[in-house]
Amino acid sequence: MAHGASPTQQKVFYVEGLGQPTYPYVSGLGYPSPWGLYLALVYKTYQLLPISPYFYYFLIKLLPITGDLIAAYIIYRLALEYTNNIERARKFSLVFFLCPFVIFISSVWGMFDSIPILFTLIAILLLIYEKPYWSAFSLGVGILFKVIPVIYLPVPLLFLRKKRGVRDAVLYLLIAVVVPFILALIPIIFYGWEISEATVTVFSQTQRRGGSLTYWNIAALLKNLFPNIFSVEALNSLFSFPPIRYLWILGLIAAYLLYEERQTEIHSDARVDSLRALLEGFSFATIGFLLTRPFVPEQFVLYLLPFLIILSASNLPKKYYRLTWGFALVFALVNFYPFAFAYLMDIEFWNIFNYLINTSPFSTVRYVMQFAVAIVFDWFLVKLLFKMRKKT
Amino acid sequence: MKRLASILKDRRTQYCIIFWILLLKAIDIVARLLSEVASLQFFAMLGFESLSVGSRLIWDGLFIFAVFWLGYRVWNDVFGFG
């Protein structure tokens, strides 16, 4: 990418001394281009200042960590609006910033979900400050980094339709869709990348086999136990079946209806009530998505945390926040992510772990544990949803 | 189980499920139409052209069932019959 190649190209080859020496290449990025462009900038910087590979890793993680830091500040602003108490707002902000799971995702793994989360939070803040078009712009930028925030789009639309009318809701929709579209198009045109290749990579995210932090990961366990019955072809066929592949759309429709129901229950026009309704709406959408998507990477849980920590100021017990990140962190550890970095110490160390996690009976134990944690987590999410729905 | 049954009996839930199935069919049709254009072939990825014969049969059956289900619901809710 640092030489102008598309971030979605199928093979990104290993650069001697940088990154994982365990595979000759890794697959292209499944996101719109900004993250790839940032990585290119990091590589260029490292070429100018080749101090150490760790400096390169630090630069990669700098953006997600900065995202966490600014997100913590926005949480402070939102919590201040919600509680009108500086001390409590500071505490919520710190609880998020120092959350072990947040630190793990950004500082250990280097995954950049904190950026789309940050822009989503800014969008909420601007909505309650009655700046809907800037809010739409911010949500659009969030979508540009990772498509996930698009699941929140109907919530502000329903909110604006009630508060300001259909015209503002339609304008919001237009801005939030056009902004990421145009900004994504600019580097594609500038560098002459294949638009079809870029789009296929992003679209491919809708067609993934079940796995990670969801009950659908039973597929991996069954494949491990009965490889002749649950073959790759059989599982591909199962997960390409339309009602399973797009079950998350049903989950989101249900979440939006819940939000609409909650919105009509609130008769006050006070800012704090609007904020609570929005936070609940964004939480419903996240929970609906996490419960129905066949593939749920651990980092998606991050999207729920800011809403839960602010809502814990009033009607939601704090244990729900703690358990949410707790389950996700346990799953990440079971998934052996910390050992994915073992090559930094010794390549042989990595080879041993890689052999163990992919060889029976260790692999079976790992899949059983993954399924157990995912089932408990999903059951917990259902409980959380009912708890949030009950409170008025 | 009882709770699930009561949720499924709810009229609004039924409309949600029907709408969802019809929406999936719409996604399939739009994806297929767009992929007919040479430069937009990648849209085929969102559709269901790669389904096996068995899956295709079940999916088509489900879609037809949803159409009849919608007819039944409208018959009941709009015209008050049934």
- Please state the rounded mean pLDDT for residues B40-64: 89
Give the minimum alpha-carbon distance from A162 to chain B in angstroms, rounded to a whole number. Answer: 21
Res. A68 pLDDT band, cuts 50 70 90: very high
Q: Is pLDDT of A340 > 80?
A: no
Percent of chain B with pLDDT over 70: 98
Comparing alpha-carbon positions, the chain B residue that sits nearest to A249 is B20
Question: Is A243 touching B (CB cutoff 8 A)?
Answer: yes
Q: Looking at A26-40, A142-156, A187-201, which range is the least confident one?
A: A187-201
Give me the residues paired with residue A12 across strands. Answer: A26
Q: Is pLDDT of B65 > 90?
A: yes
What ipTM was assigned to the predicted interfaces of this complex? Answer: 0.91
Among the partner residues B16, B40, B58, nearest to A257 by beta-carbon distance: B16
Question: Is B27 touching A (CB cutoff 8 A)?
Answer: yes
Distance CA A37, CA A39 (A): 5
Give the minimum alpha-carbon distance from B75 to chain A in angstroms, rounded to a whole number. Answer: 23
Locate tokens 């950026």: which residue? A115
Q: Is pLDDT of A47 > 70?
A: yes
> Could you tell me if B60 and B21 are in contact, meaning their C-beta atoms sit under 8 angstroms apart?
no
Comparing alpha-carbon positions, the chain B residue that sits nearest to A247 is B20
Question: Is A237 touching B (CB cutoff 8 A)?
Answer: yes
Res. B81 pLDDT band, cuts 50 70 90: low
Spatial CB neighbours of B73, under 8 Å, sequence gap ≥ 6: B11, B14, B15, B18
What's the pLDDT at A85? 93
Give the minimum alpha-carbon distance from A46 to chain B in angstroms, rounded to a whole number. Answer: 36
Per-residue b/e over A311-329, b at no fewer than 16 CB within 10 Å?
Answer: bbbeebeeebbebbbbbbb
Give me the residues paired with residue A25 across strands. Answer: A13
Mean of per-residue pLDDT scores for chain A: 90
Question: How many angstroms separate the first and last alpha carbons of chain B?
Answer: 26
- Reduced to 3 states (helix: H, G, I; strand: E, B; else coil), residue A30 is coil
Q: Is pLDDT of A81 > 80?
A: yes
Q: Is pLDDT of A124 > 60?
A: yes
* DSSP sequence for A291-347: HH-SEE-GGGGGGGHHHHHHHTTTTS-HHHHHHHHHHHHHHHHHTTHHHHTGGGT-H
Mean of per-residue pLDDT scores for chain B: 88
Q: Is pLDDT of A133 > 60?
A: yes
What one-character DSSP code corresponds to residue A28? Answer: P
Spatial CB neighbours of A37, under 8 Å, sequence gap ≥ 6: A1, A7, A187
* DSSP sequence for A93-143: HHHHHT-HHHHIIIIII---THHHHHHHHHHHHHHHTT-HHHHHHHHHHHH
- Please state the rounded mean pLDDT for residues B7-29: 91
Strands A295-296, A211-212: pairing is: parallel
What's the pLDDT at A260? 93
What the block records as the tokens of A271 is: 């800012």
The residue ranking higher by pLDDT, A74 or B80, is A74
Question: Is A336 touching B (CB cutoff 8 A)?
Answer: no
Distance CA B74, CA B22 (A): 15
Contact B45 A204 (CB under 8 A): yes
Give which of A204, A245, A253 to mutate to test B binding, by max B Cβ within 10 Å: A253
**What amino acid is encoded at A320 in this protein?**
Y
Whether the predicted model's global pTM rises above the 0.80 cut: yes
H-helix or E-strand containing A12? strand A12-13
Contact A203 B59 (CB under 8 A): no
Q: What is the pLDDT of residues A169-222, one digit of tens each?
A: 999 999 999 999 999 989 888 888 877 776 777 677 777 777 789 999 999 899
> Could you tell me if A287 and A384 are in contact, meaning their C-beta atoms sit under 8 angstroms apart?
yes
Res. A391 pLDDT band, cuts 50 70 90: low
Contact A196 B16 (CB under 8 A): no
Comparing alpha-carbon positions, the chain A residue that sits nearest to B46 is A203
Q: Which of A105, A26, A93, A29 is CA-nearest to residue A63?
A: A105
Question: Is A241 touching B (CB cutoff 8 A)?
Answer: yes
> Could you tell me if A241 and B51 are in contact, meaning their C-beta atoms sit under 8 angstroms apart?
yes
What are the angstrom distances between the C-alpha of A218 and each of A168, A232, A235? 44, 14, 11
The residue ranking higher by pLDDT, A209 or A54, is A54
Write down the domain spans for chain A. Answer: 12-389
H-helix or E-strand containing A196? helix A195-203
Give the minimum alpha-carbon distance from B81 to chain A in angstroms, rounded to a whole number. Answer: 27
**What amino acid is encoded at A331 in this protein?**
F
Res. A238 pLDDT band, cuts 50 70 90: confident
Give phi and psi for A15, each to the nearest 5.
-100, 125
Distance CA A89, CA A80 (A): 5
From the centroid of its chain, how far is CA A40? 22
Question: Is B26 touching A (CB cutoff 8 A)?
Answer: no
Angle, helices A362-390 vs A347-357, to 10°: value is: 80
**What amino acid is encoded at A319 in this protein?**
K
Distance CA A50, CA A298 (A): 32
What's the pLDDT at A194? 78
